[in-house]
């Protein structure tokens, strides 16, 4: 998949995955990787930036499989931002899909 496409939707994917439940970084990487081929190194800088922008809070939780894990929790500010991004995404994809439908000959 085009790298620029991935970069553009990664933020939306991370925010969406945190809407219903808190998750730790590696779990986010795995969930996204199930659908989109990404490298682990692309998610952590994004998590740091979104935390700095107060879209997440973080907390440590003990793990039975090793050291404590840092969990990310969506803030109310983050949730509002997510919903705005979803609306933008829906409008954007609708417009692109319409242009593809009009412009591509499938015959």
Taking the model in full, what pTM does it have?
0.86
Average pLDDT for 80-103: 94
Q: Do 44 and 52 touch, CB atoms closer than 8 A?
A: no
pLDDT at 15: 97
Model pLDDT for residues 56-82, shown as the tens digit of each residue: 999 999 998 889 999 999 999 999 999
Q: Please write the tens of the pLDDT for every residue from 16-48.
A: 999 999 999 999 999 999 999 888 888 999 999
Mean pLDDT, the chain, rounded, equals 92
Cross-strand pairs, 57: 73
């Amino acid at each position: 998949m085009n790298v620029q496409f991935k970069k553009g939707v990664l933020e939306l994917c991370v925010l969406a995955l945190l809407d219903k439940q808190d998750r730790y970084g590696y779990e986010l990487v795995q969930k996204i990787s199930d659908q989109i081929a990404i490298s682990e190194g692309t998610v952590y800088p994004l998590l740091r930036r979104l935390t700095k922008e107060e879209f997440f809070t973080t907390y440590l939780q003990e793990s039975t499989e090793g050291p404590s894990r840092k969990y990310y929790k969506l803030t109310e500010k983050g949730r509002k931002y997510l919903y705005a991004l979803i609306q933008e995404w829906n409008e954007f994809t609708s417009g692109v899909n319409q242009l593809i439908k009009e412009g591509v000959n499938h015959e």
